[in-house]
Amino acid sequence: MELDELINGGWGRHETETEQLALELLEGVELVKDAGQAAAFSALASHTLGEHLGNWGGAATLIEGALHGLDEAPELTSTVILLGVAQEFAGDEEAAVASLERARSLAGDDVLVRVRTHFARASAHMGVGDSALLIQEHAKGMELVSTMPDTASVDRLVAIMSNNLASHLLGLEALSDEESKGMLEIALAARAAWWRAGEWVQRERADYLMALVHNRRANWEAGLKAADEALATIATNGEELIDEAFLQLARAQALNGMQELDGRDSALGVADALASEWGEGLKAWYEEQRAKSLEAPRQSSSS
């Protein structure tokens, strides 16, 4: 199996074939030949063995294997940070400290490494289901970002990771007040970073996430506004019919919450028309989201 096939296919099946994939990663680590491959391999290894299987020691061993034989270079920084976090979660504090010091030496930028480390920890806490520490690590990372005179070196990291973290919280069955507030702050961080570093498609999708987050918090007016802003971005720049359909569902959910039933039905009609020619798989996902748009908001665990 080629490394690209292992990594790309692995992300598609890591939830359903986790243990098998872990074995394949162990067998495939010798395929890693450069820094880019090491980063991609290590991200999947950390997620699969660490976050899904709780085998952080195994994840660290695989990442060490991916780094073996590669020349020390700044491009290895993100992989060495993942190694340090895996060692930290495995309880090997001495090795973790050494790895993070190695990352600082490679990067030549202490703040950059600290930001990346906080986000790597947040991702790990997401995988193991600790929302409080996820939110805490994200906040620590963003506090450091706020001190940077130029955030270009971390904008895409902040955007992608914040999007993933907010989406994770959004998908929880119940949210505490702190989780709900954290979800909002993290989604706002994703939006701000995408508006600095992304193309128009990323920007409208950031507003779509904001619409979903506001709707989950039953802030219907804000949810409707975010969805409308995303649709306006699409209208100004091009066409994204799939995104438009799901944005109309977000609008329908907000309007339903506001008891504006005519507006809700109109939005559903537009969404249904856009989705009418879709294939079976996408249509099933659409129908699931359509049903959710008409449900009452899930209550927080403190309610």
Does some domain include residue 47?
no
Does some domain include residue 264?
yes
pTM attached to this predicted model: 0.91
What 3-state DSSP class applies to 96? helix
At residue 198 the predicted structure's pLDDT band, cuts being 50, 70 and 90, is very high
Number of compact structural domains in the chain:
1
Does some domain include residue 69?
no
Structural domain span for residue 245 = 199-303
At residue 299 the predicted structure's pLDDT band, cuts being 50, 70 and 90, is low
At residue 298 the predicted structure's pLDDT band, cuts being 50, 70 and 90, is low
Does some domain include residue 272?
yes
Does some domain include residue 12?
no
Q: Which residues pair with 300 in a beta bridge?
A: 175
User: Across residues 149-161, what is the average pLDDT?
Assistant: 95
Does some domain include residue 180?
no
Whether pLDDT at 211 is above 60: yes
Residue 279 DSSP one-character state: -
Q: Convert the pLDDT of each residue in 79-112 to its tens digit.
A: 999 999 999 999 999 999 999 999 999 999 999 9
What 3-state DSSP class applies to 37? helix
Does some domain include residue 102?
no
Residue 302: its pLDDT value, please? Answer: 45
Residue 127: its pLDDT value, please? Answer: 87
Give the other-Cβ count within 10 Å of 171's Cβ. Answer: 9
Q: Convert the pLDDT of each residue in 229-281 to its tens digit.
A: 999 999 999 999 999 999 999 999 999 999 999 999 999 999 999 999 999 99
Return the closest-CA partner of residue 270 out of 247, 291, 253, 288: 247
Q: Which residues pair with 175 in a beta bridge?
A: 300
Residue type, 95: A
**230, 249 Cβ separation under 8 angstroms:** no
Q: Convert the pLDDT of each residue in 32-47 to its tens digit.
A: 999 999 999 999 999 9
Distance CA 195, CA 159 (A): 9
Residue 15: its pLDDT value, please? Answer: 86
User: Across residues 50-65, what is the average pLDDT?
Assistant: 95
Residue 303: its pLDDT value, please? Answer: 42
In angstroms, the Cα distances linking 301 to 27, 40, 232 are 43, 37, 35
Does some domain include residue 295?
yes
Residue 69: its pLDDT value, please? Answer: 95
- Kindly state the tokens that stand for 66: 């991916």
Distance CA 231, CA 247 (A): 7
